[in-house]
Amino acid sequence: MTEKEILQPEASSVTHVREARERIPYLAAFGVLVALTLVEIGVVRSAGIPHRAAVVALIAIALAKAALIALFYMHLRYETRILKFTVLGPLVAPAVYGLLLMLDSAARHMP
Amino acid sequence: MSSTVAQEHGHATAAWPPDAQYGTATPGKIGMWIFLISDAFSFGGLLIAEGILYAGHRPWRQAGEPELGILFTAALTFILVCTSLTNVLGWAAAADGKRKQAAVLLGLTAFGGALFLVGQFQEWFGIWAPGLLREGLVFGQSPRASTFYVITGYHGLHVLVGVAYILAILAGYLRGRVNERQIELLGLYWCFVDFVWVFVFSFVYLLPSLSGA
């Protein structure tokens, strides 16, 4: 590593900064996020979807939206694998707790 | 070499050297991520608590309590998504050296955040229409009401802090004291607010409304 590389005051903190500066992925993610939100409203409003399928759909859509925000808008897509794991790894445990809780709730209220 | 020593010797401020595991992520960025993970646990705890209460209380919506405005909240969700976009585009503009564009986009982000807060104020207290409090969703009177106000209030507090954070960074940027790295840190915080809202919207508004409970 040269001294010039080390002493760059404006060096980016995003590892793959060239890709991160592309605007199109951000706009595409925006379109998908808006579309998914509309689908969520559709799932809640439509009476024909079985309750369990609607619950699974809403949770899956929420996870997809959160992943899009973390990967694109929070730049995780442009970071190293280790940083991605450092951030997303600890969130798995509470997600599992939450899932178990919902399964427990669903089982106890089954007709 | 510390930045002070570097400046005394006429060198530029030292950047954090690229790391094999964390790339060019700065200590400030790693610190922000650690803060956000701990904050995510706080939100996770609140949402799990809501889930436990929801499982044990039927009907979830007590007699006389209003329904939550799904469409209105969907509009607030749209505003937050828009601000995540303007924020990240603001960072990209700053990274490209387009200072004016970056400042405008950050200003729009702050405006969107303020708009979200106005919407939440309307939802709780009412401005142009009666709010939930007046319609009968009163804190402490049911688990639904209490979890609703605690979770959305905690999130709203994050939005409020975020708007102040954006304005502080914007002021510093206009004075030339803030660079794109600090704008990226701001972006991590701001988009985390949107990230969390995805789950708040699903677990507080959408999922309980499925059963009409």
Read off the CATH number of the domain in which B69 is found. 1.20.120.80
Structural domain span for residue B188: 26-210
Q: Is the pLDDT of residue B113 over 70?
A: yes
The predicted structure's pLDDT at residue B91 = 94
Predicted TM-score (pTM) of the model is 0.88
- In a mutational test of the B interface, the residue from A1, A74, A81, A109 whose CB has the highest number of chain B CBs within 10 Å is A74
User: Within an 8 Å CB–CB cutoff, is residue A46 touching chain B?
Assistant: no
The predicted structure's pLDDT at residue B90 = 96
Quote the tokens at residue A18: 């060239």
Domain count, chain B: 1
ipTM: 0.88
Q: How far apart are CA B126 and CA B77, in angstroms?
A: 18
B189 domain-assigned: yes
Q: pLDDT tens across A28-54, in order? A: 999 999 999 999 999 999 988 998 899
Residue A8 pLDDT class (50, 70, 90 cuts)? very low
Counting Cβ atoms within 10 Å, is residue B187 exposed (0-12), middle (13-18) or buried (19+)?
A: buried
Quote the tokens at residue A87: 């951030």
Q: How far apart are CA B135 and CA B187, in angstroms?
A: 36
Counting Cβ atoms within 10 Å, is residue B101 exposed (0-12), middle (13-18) or buried (19+)?
A: middle
Question: What mean pLDDT, rounded, does chain B reach?
Answer: 90
Alpha helices in B126-179 (DSSP H): 132-135, 143-174
Instruction: Name the A residues in 3-32 with CB < 8 Å from any B CB.
Output: 5-17, 20-21, 23, 26-27, 29-30
The predicted structure's pLDDT at residue B13 = 54
Quote the tokens at residue B33: 């991520």
| Residues B24, A86: C-beta atoms closer than 8 Å | no
CB B65 within 8 A of CB A50: no
| Residues B191, A108: C-beta atoms closer than 8 Å | no
Residue B197 pLDDT class (50, 70, 90 cuts)? very high
The predicted structure's pLDDT at residue B186 = 97
B21 domain-assigned: no
Counting Cβ atoms within 10 Å, is residue B38 exposed (0-12), middle (13-18) or buried (19+)?
A: exposed
B12 domain-assigned: no
